[in-house]
Amino acid sequence: MIKRTEYYDDPTAPQPNTLVPAASAIIVDDDGAVLLHRRADSELWSIPGGGMEIGESIARTVAREVKEETGLDVAIERLVGIYSDPRFVVAYADGEVRQQFSICFSCRVVGGSLAASDESSEVRFFPSSEVAALPMGPGTRVRLRDFQEGGTTPVIA
């Protein structure tokens, strides 16, 4: 059952009613394969990430979310971008509709074991040649593109 729907530049999208700070991570292994998880709430492939909780830093948010969704411990390497485009909204089955405000980091694995969770039905590294064919939301595609094209200057969108 779909519990989460992403909209980008869609005139039929519902109006946002919340703004939640969030963090996400792009993790690439030594062979250049990117870590993705299949979200349990949408069945789409995504980079790990989620909402910030009161009392935590954004760095702690990304580390916690990666651990919860993939089983891996990570360290931040660099900022990929800050995403706050009001044309991108996420609607949840409970009526919450979020305008995005997400900070995306490039991270490296420092421990843990790859594992699915109640938030992820599958977790695996994909060669870059396979990523384009995977079903995923527009937010994930934009972040992956920015990571691949990016240098040392973060994207502010």
Instruction: Determine which one of 6, 96, 119, 122 is catalytic.
Output: 122
- Cα–Cα distance measured from residue 61 to residue 44, given in angstroms and rounded to the nearest whole number: 21
If you search the block for the tokens 């519990």, which residue do you land on? 3
Bridge partners, residue 121, by sequence: none
Virtual CA dihedral for 47, 48, 54, 60, nearest 10 degrees?
Answer: -110
Burial 75-88 (b: 16+ CB within 10 A, else e): eeeebbbebebeeb
Cβ within 8 Å of residue 26, ≥6 positions away: 34, 35, 47, 80, 104, 105, 106, 107, 143, 144, 147
- Cα–Cα distance measured from residue 38 to residue 88, given in angstroms and rounded to the nearest whole number: 20
| Residue 122: active-site member | yes
The residues annotated with a catalytic role in the active site are 122
